[in-house]
């Protein structure tokens, strides 16, 4: 049904050696997703990404830049902390657990709206939004990224294959998938890209085989643009609930039963199949999500300026959509009876003022009434029949269809997100959450802020940063330059 990806990309061969579900795992999610992109999605992705980049290659970007000043606001968007009590009770309650939208389910909703086309945002903002999405749809499939107990397992120290200082979170991110790859002869030491390519091909075999009957259940039936009253993605809430369940049936029961065990034994045997299926889920979901998110693009250019076809009966091309409210100039007929369709025009050629949406939604089409209407006589003439009549109120939003925040089959996007200010601290159309209090370490960073120089910043055995990326103050420009240098 689906063939594995062909040759290993050059980017993978030169990939930086990074670990965690931000290295092998995230690269694998990107590679799996690439198998499921339709032609339109491939074209839009290629337009947004740089020529040498792939979904796999950009999958770790969000982990790298969250330690920079420009993107430090994104640290808490990598997870959600449900206030449940695993393993006794596992459940995700959106009003209880992410009412402010400052978590992964809010981030997925926000960056979906920012990544899609025709939303009024610059290409660079859409590019960054796509990279965030690739990463977050991977993160939300990791059970401990939907767990509030002991900071998602970061505060639980366990013994894994003789390493008595392993974090529970880290073994799910890194040690378990890497041990599995080694057991299958798929691990390439020092090259996460190559390991991930092997892992993706391995999981594609499972997707075409033992996972095939499960695929439909991996997806949400919610629109990719649907959010709730908390501005959180309805589909992402489904995924957080799915991941959270594993905290009661796999992650924590054995921890509480025997805290001194070697977690590289039976615990690994039970957890490895879950890791495999969750990474496969994330890749399958990501491919489907991108297809649906970009379905409305139809190979449209990524520029925010759009020129509509000329209005029938007019000689003026409709100007690009403006962000402010403008009243459409009335059409005046100076002659006697005149039939005009579809736009009311004078007896001679008339220039019609641009149609402007009241919001920042891009004008997709002109809404036209379906019946013929008799209007009041125009001064100096007899009754004029006009049909059909263009329905354009002074403050009416014109196309696309009315957004249903609770989802519909049409997958209509929400209104255009507000552009981010230059300091990048605006969380899409929302305000950046207040800084994490000093008494609550930033869970998104997977480690307390004050990391000793002799201890990697990204967890005891999952240092995500390497080379030029190890500086917590690295600029976004330096990150991009370093990534480009690796190709």
Nearest-angstrom CA–CA distance, 84 and 106: 19
- 385 secondary structure, DSSP code: E
CA pseudo-torsion sign 362, 289, 480, 143? positive
Catalytic residue among 75, 114, 126, 135: 135
Does the active-site annotation cover 169?
A: yes
Q: Where are the beta strands (DSSP E) in 8-99?
A: none
Residue 404: CA atoms inside 13 Å, Cβ hemisphere, count? 9
Catalytic residue among 27, 63, 231, 292: 63
Cα–chain-centroid distance for residue 264? 33
Catalytic residue among 27, 61, 78, 242: 78
Does the active-site annotation cover 252?
A: no
Structure-token pair, residue 401: 């269809």
Does the active-site annotation cover 213?
A: no
Does the active-site annotation cover 145?
A: yes
Does the active-site annotation cover 238?
A: no
Catalytic residue among 84, 94, 125, 173: 173
Nearest-angstrom CA–CA distance, 296 and 413: 9
Which one, of 17, 58, 63, lies nearest residue 457 by Cα? Answer: 63
Task: Provide φ and ψ at 460, rounded to 5°.
Answer: -60, -40
What are the distances in angstroms from CA 442 to CA 5, 43, 74, 439?
37, 37, 11, 10
Nearest-angstrom CA–CA distance, 312 and 310: 6
Catalytic residue among 84, 97, 139, 461: 139
Does the active-site annotation cover 239?
A: no
Does the active-site annotation cover 26?
A: yes
Does the active-site annotation cover 202?
A: no
Catalytic residue among 149, 156, 169, 202: 169
- Beta 163-167 vs 384-386: how paired, if at all? unpaired
Catalytic residue among 75, 114, 126, 145: 145
Residue 363: CA atoms inside 13 Å, Cβ hemisphere, count? 24
Alpha helices in 253-387 (DSSP H): 253-257, 266-293
Catalytic residue among 66, 156, 202, 231: 66
Positions marked active-site? 21, 26, 63, 66, 78, 135, 139, 145, 169, 173
């Amino acid at each position: 049904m689906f063939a594995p990806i062909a040759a290993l990309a050059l980017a993978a061969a030169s990939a930086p050696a990074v670990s965690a579900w931000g290295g092998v795992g995230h690269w694998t999610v990107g590679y799996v997703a690439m198998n499921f992109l339709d032609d339109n999605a491939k074209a839009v992705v290629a337009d947004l990404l740089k020529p040498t980049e792939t979904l796999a290659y950009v999958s770790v970007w969000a982990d790298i830049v969250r330690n920079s000043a420009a993107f430090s606001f994104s640290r808490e968007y990598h997870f959600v902390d449900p206030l449940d009590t695993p393993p006794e009770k596992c459940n995700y309650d959106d009003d209880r657990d992410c009412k402010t939208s400052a978590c992964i389910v809010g981030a997925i909703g926000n960056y979906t709206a920012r990544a899609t086309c025709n939303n009024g945002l610059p290409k660079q903002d859409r590019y960054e939004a796509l990279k965030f999405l690739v990463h977050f749809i991977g993160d939300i499939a990791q059970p401990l990224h939907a767990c509030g107990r002991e900071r998602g397992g970061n505060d639980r120290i366990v013994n894994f294959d003789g390493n008595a200082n392993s974090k529970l979170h880290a073994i799910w991110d890194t040690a378990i998938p890497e041990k599995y790859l080694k057991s299958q002869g798929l691990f390439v030491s020092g090259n996460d890209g190559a390991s991930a390519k092997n892992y993706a091909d391995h999981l594609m075999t499972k997707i075409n085989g033992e996972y095939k009957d499960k695929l439909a259940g991996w997806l949400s039936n919610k629109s990719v643009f649907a959010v709730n009253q908390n501005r959180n993605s309805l589909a992402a809430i489904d995924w957080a609930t799915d991941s959270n369940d594993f905290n009661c049936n796999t992650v924590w029961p054995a921890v509480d039963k025997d805290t001194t065990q070697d977690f590289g034994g039976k615990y690994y045997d039970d957890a490895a199949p879950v890791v495999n299926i969750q990474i496969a889920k994330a890749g399958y979901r990501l491919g489907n999500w991108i297809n649906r998110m970009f379905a409305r693009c139809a190979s449209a250019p990524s520029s925010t300026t759009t020129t509509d076809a000329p209005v029938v009966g007019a000689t003026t091309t409709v100007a690009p959509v403006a962000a402010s409210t403008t009243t459409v100039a009335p059409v005046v007929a100076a002659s006697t009876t005149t039939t005009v369709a579809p736009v009311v025009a004078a007896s001679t050629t008339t220039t019609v003022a641009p149609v402007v949406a009241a919001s920042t939604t891009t004008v997709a089409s002109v809404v036209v009434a379906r019946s013929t209407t008799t209007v009041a006589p125009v001064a100096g003439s007899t009754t004029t029949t006009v049909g059909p009549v263009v329905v354009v109120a002074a403050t009416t939003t014109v196309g696309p269809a009315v957004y249903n925040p609770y989802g519909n089959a049409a997958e209509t996007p929400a209104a255009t997100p507000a552009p981010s200010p230059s300091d990048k601290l605006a969380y899409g159309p929302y305000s950046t959450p207040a800084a994490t209090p000093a008494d609550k370490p930033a869970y998104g960073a997977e480690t307390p802020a004050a990391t000793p120089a002799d201890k990697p910043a990204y967890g005891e055995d999952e240092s995500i940063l390497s080379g030029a990326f190890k500086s917590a103050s690295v600029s976004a420009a330096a990150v991009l330059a370093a990534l480009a240098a690796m190709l």
